[in-house]
Structure 1
Amino acid sequence: MDSAVNGVPATSLRGVRWVKSRHSAAMGNCVELAVLADGSVAVRNSRHPEGPALIYTQAEVVAFLAGAKDGEFDTLVV
Structure 2
Amino acid sequence: MLQTDNGKSSSTTSCVPAAYNGMSAAKLHGARWQKARRSNSQGNCVEIAELPGGRVAMRNSRHPEGPALIYTRPEIEALILGAKEGEFDHLIAARN
> TM-score, normalising length from structure 2?
0.77
More strand by share: 1
For 2:52, the aligned partner's letter is A
State the alpha-carbon separation in 2 of the partners of residues 12 and 38 from structure 1. 16
* 1:21 lines up with 2:36 in the alignment: yes
Secondary structure (helix, strand or coil) at the match of 1:7 reads: coil
> TM-score, normalising length from structure 1?
0.94
- Give structure 1 stretches of 5+ with no counterpart: none
* 1:7 lines up with 2:22 in the alignment: yes
For 1:37, the aligned partner's letter is P
More helix by share: 1
CA RMSD after TM alignment: 1.1
Following TM superposition, the consecutive aligned residue runs of length 4 or more in structure 1 with deviations greater than 3 angstroms are none
Aligned length: 78
Structure-2 residue corresponding to 1:39: 54
State the alpha-carbon separation in 2 of the partners of residues 44 and 56 from structure 1. 12
State the alpha-carbon separation in 2 of the partners of residues 64 and 13 from structure 1. 22
Query: Could you tell me how far 1:29 is from its partner in structure 2?
Result: 0.6
**Aligned residues with identical type, % of pairs:** 58
